[in-house]
Amino acid sequence: MLWRLVRRSMRERRAHVALTLLAVAVTAALATALLGVTFAIRERMARELRAFGANILIVPRSAPLAVTVGSLRYVPSQEEAYLEESELARLKTIFWRHNIVAFAPFLSRTVEVAGQRALLVGTWFDKRVDVPVPSRRFSFASGASREVAAVEGGWNTGLEALVPSWQVDGRWVREGSGGALVGRALAARLAIEPGQTLEVELEGRRARFPVHGLLRTGGVEEDQIFVELAAAQALFGRPGRVEKVQVSALVTPDNALAVRARTVGPESLPPSEYETWYCTPYLDSIVFQIEEALTGARGTAIRQVAEAEQAFLGKVTGVFVLSSALGLATAGLGVAATTARAIFERRAEVGLMKALGGDRRQIARLLLVEAGVTGLGGGIVGALLGVALTRVIGLWVFATPIESHVLLLLAILGVAPGVALLGALGPLRAALAVPAATTLSAE
Amino acid sequence: MTLIVVRDLTKEYDGRKLRALDRVSLDVASGEWLALMGPSGSGKTTLLNLIAGLDTPTSGTVVVDGAPVHALDEAERARFRRDTVGVVFQHFHLIPYLTAVENVMLAQYFHSLADEAEAADALVRVGLGDRLHHRPPELSGGEQQRVAIARALINQPKLVVADEPTGNLDADNEAVVLETFQKLHAQGHTILLVTHDPRVGALADRRISLDHGRIMSAGLEMDFDNARWKRGERQS
Ligand SMILES: Nc1ncnc2c1ncn2[C@@H]1O[C@H](COP(=O)(O)OP(=O)(O)O)[C@@H](O)[C@H]1O
Ligand SMILES: [Mg+2]
């Protein structure tokens, strides 16, 4: 009988029910889309920062004057300067060794491929690194010393760990396989596919690489060729040499001490502050420790870009969350007002139901079930609209559709009837307070 | 046996100096049909509401079937109305979007369980067997009032109160509705009926007349031939 009554009542007031449903649906759609997009931005932000990967660039102290043209790079040979590949394992012996998440060395030259020019990059894909020092004691001017535990045994790192967001059609190159990854754009120009062999030439020397995969990065790497470092060193005639290393390190955000150390130079800090600075994983102190570890190395913090980006995305997210909250509050009030009006208009009916012997609980149940059903209906419609809206916004902002989280949708389906019920509560109390006689003797 | 005992019942509406009901005392026997008469504004509806537990008095007592109606809290009054009273209004007060049978079922639903067959049966008994699934707007005034009577009776209340039940009906419908009340009376229902029509009042066992909230006369003899009316001859 309850459902029969609710059905009849809703059919009777279908215009009003439709309006309420619309209000709930719009609210729910807004909530789904705004929250969905906000989550997606946060997720993408995190992934992009991870994709950016390296936050430290290590180059030789006497860095060569390199000329970069698009994806190509030219180095005058008399100005060449290098880092030693054999020293790289020392990166895992510094004080903040455990914060070095990944790194990869690079050595590159522009080569000829089937009559075209392309940058051939030698690197580590997933290289086994044997860490030389078991454990190490760091002593400070204050007399304090700290022991840092060893990195157990060996450790694998390289491009795969440094830039996990890069996508490979085919497979990654295994160390020692002699294979190559070819940028997607270059592969298209060369009409080459995984499984085929790439022949490159540099100053009369030739090398052949079986293509294991095509690389999708969304950047200049799609015009480049990646091979194992040793193969590149052999082709370029530079055994054991590396021109730069990119490092991904977990760092603490800068504070006043970090800023002071950067302006005056860490050596000018009082000993105790120096110790604190050294023993805090600031980007600068890790760079400092890397420079200590590698001969002739200069570290650069790739900070500005990442931080500016992060700050910007943070603000964008903030604006989104704020406007979501305001939009939802407004829409929620609208829903509550519509529900409130519906119940206000039914005071006479409530009075009659009381006269017929209905108690507060029975009458409240009738009205609340109706409000809840309307809210749930609106929530379902709104969630569906929201899923579509989220996809559209995703296509517009990121050029890829954003999928809505199931949990978010479930939450919306829970909250939508909740808002309608909340809106119903106030006027319901008022309506139930009306004595039966008053509404009935009114003529 | 006395079903209703009213003593010194007084009602003052908020913000009104005058008493709508002024120290009214009254007994109604079980199975009795009492007509409440008097001019408009004399307090008839007020008295009915207080006896039916639809409103609360300013002072005085109402005891119906042993229940101290004046002293009940809201939940207890709801239960009292549900179990003891059936109400019929001048303006029918059916729910417009429910069919005739659903309007009757609503009273069942509030009482215990809705039973469509039983509700339909009640409508058949008031001559509406072919109107079960019509909505109030599709029914004549008399038909609507008979639906309301079926609704008032569906839970077998000890007391039926009716506030000018024929006030909004034409002569033909009035006759049908009054016949229904006579049947109820014959079945032993206690009826409290408000009217200012002497012909309607004449059908009751007893009449009391209110004026300015006080009882003016009881058992007043009317200039009305009840027997002639029952034979179907119209009075002028
Ligand atoms: N809800 C109310 N609020 C204020 N005054 C009321 C209310 N109901 C009735 N009255 C007043 O109480 C008096 C009696 O009214 P009522 O019982 O409706 O008379 P009757 O039914 O005999 O016409 C009238 O003066 C009327 O105006
Ligand atoms: Mg009245």
Tell me what ipTM this predicted complex has: 0.86
Higher pLDDT, A225 or A428: A225
Residue A48 maps to a domain: no
Mean pLDDT across the stretch A299-307? 68
- The Cα angle at residue A81 between residues A76 and A86, in degrees rounded to 5: 140
CA A299 to chain centre: 26
Model confidence band, residue A235 (pLDDT cutoffs 50, 70, 90): very high
Distance separating alpha carbons of residues A278 and A300, to the nearest angstrom: 17
Per-residue pLDDT at A395: 86
Q: What is the pLDDT of residue B222?
A: 46
Residue B92 C-alpha, separation from nearest chain A C-alpha, in angstroms: 10
Statement to judge: residues A7 and A59 lie in one domain: no
> In the prediction, which pLDDT does A52 show?
56
Pocket test for ligand 1, best of B18, B45, B49, B211 (most atoms within 8 A of CB): B45
Report whether pLDDT(B22) > 80: yes
8 Å CB contact of B75 and A437: no
My answer on whether A321 and A288 are in the same domain is: no
Given a cut of 80, whether residue A47 has pLDDT beyond it is no
Q: Which residues contact A244 (CB under 8 A, 6 or more apart)?
A: A57, A58, A59, A83, A105, A106
Check whether residue A237 and residue A157 sit in a common domain.
yes
B100 band by pLDDT with thresholds 50, 70 and 90: very high
* pLDDT tens digit sequence for A243-296: 999 998 888 778 889 889 988 988 899 988 999 999 988 889 999 999 999 988
**What is the tally of structural domains in chain A?**
2
Confidence of residue A39 (pLDDT cuts 50, 70, 90): confident
pLDDT surpassing 70 at residue B69? yes
Pocket lining: B45 vs ligand 1, CB cutoff 6 Å: yes
User: How far, in Å, are A20, A417, A422, B31, B98 from residue A10 at the CA level?
Assistant: 11, 15, 19, 41, 11
Per-residue confidence band for A442, with pLDDT thresholds at 50, 70 and 90: very low
Residue type for position B20: A
Whether residue A197 lies inside any domain: the answer is: yes
Nearest Cα of chain B lies from the Cα of A352 at a distance, in angstroms, of 7
Regarding the beta carbon of B17 and ligand 1, being less than 6 Å apart is answered: no
pLDDT of residue A45: 65
Domain map of chain B by residue range? 2-90+157-230
Query: Is residue B66 classed as helix, strand or coil in its secondary structure?
Result: coil
Whether residue A358 sits in one domain with residue A235: no
Share of residues in chain B with pLDDT > 90 (%): 72
* A435, pLDDT greater than 50: yes
For range A230-252, the mean pLDDT:
91
Question: What is the domain extent for residue A374?
Answer: 2-43+313-442
Same domain for A29 and A175, yes or no, is: no
The residue-averaged pLDDT of A381-393 equals 91
**Protein residue whose Cα sits closest to atom 26 of ligand 1:** B41
CB atoms within 10 A of CB A334: 19
**Shared domain check, A204 and A138:** yes
Contacts of A118 (CB under 8 A, 6+ apart): A71, A72, A110, A111, A186, A200, A223, A224, A225
| Residue A50 counted as domain residue | no
DSSP A191-228: T--TTSEEEEEETTEEEEEEEEEEEE-SSGGGGEEEEE
Tell me what pLDDT residue A48 has: 56
Q: Residue A171: helix, strand or coil by DSSP?
A: coil
Closest CA to A378 of A122, A81, A24, A123: A24
Is pLDDT of A443 > 70?
A: no
User: Is A423 found in the same domain as A395?
Assistant: yes
Nearest CA to ligand 1 atom 17: B43
Instruction: Name residues whose C-beta falls within 8 Å of residue A146's C-beta, 6 or more positions apart in sequence.
Output: A95, A137, A138, A140, A279
Domain edge (last residue) among A252, A280, A301 = A301
Residue A310 clears pLDDT 80, i.e. is over it: no
CB contact under 8 A, B109 and A362: yes
Domain-embedded: residue A308: no
Q: Both tokens of residue B5? A: 């005992």
Which two three-digit tokens encode residue B3? 């079903």
Q: What are phi and psi of A329, to 5 degrees?
A: -60, -45
Shared domain for A274 and A379, answered yes or no, is: no
Whether residue B209 has its Cβ less than 6 Å from ligand 1: no
| H-state helical runs in chain B | 44-51, 74-84, 100-111, 116-125, 141-153, 171-186, 198-201, 226-230
Lowest mean pLDDT among A195-209, A235-249, A339-353, B91-105: A339-353
Using an 8 Å CB-CB cutoff, list chain B residues near A5.
98, 102, 106, 109
Taking residues A175-179, what's their average pLDDT? 92
Q: Which of A60-64, A169-173, A391-395, B227-231 has the highest mean pLDDT?
A: A169-173
If asked whether residues A264 and A345 sit together in one domain, one would say no
Same domain, A356 and A281: no
Q: Does the pLDDT at position B65 exceed 90?
A: yes
Instruction: Name the closest residue on chain A to residue B98, using Cα atoms.
Output: A8
What is the pLDDT confidence band of residue A320, given thresholds at 50, 70 and 90? confident
pLDDT value of residue B223: 44
Q: Tell me the pLDDT band of A54, cut-offs 50, 70 and 90.
A: confident
Q: Which residue has the higher pLDDT, A65 or A92?
A: A92
pLDDT of residue A65: 62
pTM, full prediction: 0.65
- Nearest beta carbon to residue A1 from set B89, B95, B105: B105
* Separation between Cα atoms, residue A167 and residue B13, nearest integer Å: 81
Q: What is the dihedral of CA A265, A266, A270, A272, to 10 degrees?
A: 160
Query: Sorting pLDDT into bands at 50, 70 and 90, what band is A303?
Result: low
What values do phi and psi take at A287, rounded to 5?
-60, -45
Residue A211 lies in a domain: yes
Take residue A132 and report the two structure tokens written for it.
């030389």
A241/A97 same-domain check: yes
The DSSP 8-state label assigned to residue B100 in this structure reads: H
Rounded-to-integer distance, Cα B190 and Cα A304, Å: 92
The residue nearest atom 2 of ligand 1, judged by CA position, is B13
Smallest Cβ distance to A357: which of B82, B96, B98? Answer: B82
- Check residues A195 and A401 and name the one with the higher pLDDT: A195
pLDDT of residue A247: 92
Would you state the CATH architecture of domain B2-90+157-230? 3-Layer(aba) Sandwich (3.40)
> How close does chain B come to A344, measured CA to CA in Å?
16
Q: Cα(A100)–Cα(B164) distance, rounded to whole angstroms?
A: 92
Most confident of A44-58, A160-174, A335-349: A160-174
pLDDT at A140: 81
Last residue of a domain, one of A301, A327, A353: A301
Instruction: Tell me the per-residue pLDDT of B174-216, one tens digit each, with 9 for 90 and over.
Output: 998 899 899 989 999 999 999 988 999 999 999 999 999 999 8
Residue B39, pLDDT above cutoff 70? yes
Last residue of a domain, one of A301, A332, A367: A301
How high is the pLDDT of residue B163?
93
Residues of B (15-74) whose Cβ lies below 8 Å from A = 45, 49, 52, 54-56, 74
A134 shares its domain with A183: yes
pLDDT of residue A63: 64
- Round to whole Å and give the CA distance between A278 and A273: 8
